């Protein structure tokens, strides 16, 4: 039974309304591993201890370092933990105040590559929730959702 403090993703994944956005657990400029990995791991563990059951991350946080930090800290994952990750962007270096060093890429090749990478980085058989970081204006959204739908049908993504 769902409470007022919860909602369902796709009708079957129950998450609390307060989740944890893990982006800032990476290095400076959202690039590389955290400067203080034990402190970052302590933050993740504390979030779980406080009842958080949804963690949001992305393949470009690090790139990949954020997902691996979550895996290395929390695996085996507690029952009921939902991890959402994102794709569809690339990052060429650390972000600065005037340059995020990112680009959009919703091509099938890129999305397939990032989903496979996130599966490995998170150490999971499927991604609970996969989100687009940005919609690529060069690719029709129907093409992008078609790719994600195929990845879902292949069992790599649970919810889009």
| Whole-number CA gyration radius for the chain | 16
| Burial state string for 15-33 with b = 16 or more CB within 10 A and e = fewer than 16 | bbeebbebeebbbeebbeb
Cis peptide before 63 (omega within 30 of 0): yes
61 has catalytic annotation: yes
In degrees and rounded to multiples of 5, residue 40 shows phi and psi of: -65, -40
| Other residues' Cβ atoms within 10 Å of the Cβ of residue 143 | 12
CA 82 to chain CA centroid, Å, is: 10
Residue among 61, 84, 87, 127 flagged as catalytic: 61
Distance separating alpha carbons of residues 8 and 91, to the nearest angstrom: 31
| Other residues' Cβ atoms within 10 Å of the Cβ of residue 105 | 19
Catalytic residues: 61
């Amino acid at each position: 039974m769902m409470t007022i403090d919860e909602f369902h993703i796709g009708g079957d994944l129950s998450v609390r309304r307060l989740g944890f956005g893990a982006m800032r657990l990476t290095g400076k400029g959202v690039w590389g591993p955290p400067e203080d990995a034990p402190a970052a791991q302590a933050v993740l563990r504390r979030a779980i201890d406080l009842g958080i059951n949804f963690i949001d991350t992305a393949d470009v946080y690090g790139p990949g370092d954020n997902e691996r930090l979550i895996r290395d800290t929390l695996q085996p994952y507690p029952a009921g933990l939902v991890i959402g990750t994102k794709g569809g962007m690339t990052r060429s270096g650390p972000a600065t105040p005037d340059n995020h060093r990112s680009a959009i890429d919703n091509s099938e090749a890129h999305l397939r590559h990032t989903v496979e990478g996130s599966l490995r980085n998170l150490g999971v058989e499927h991604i609970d929730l996969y989100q687009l970081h940005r919609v690529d204006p060069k690719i029709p959204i129907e093409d992008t959702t078609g790719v994600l739908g195929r990845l879902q049908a292949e069992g790599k993504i649970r919810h889009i």
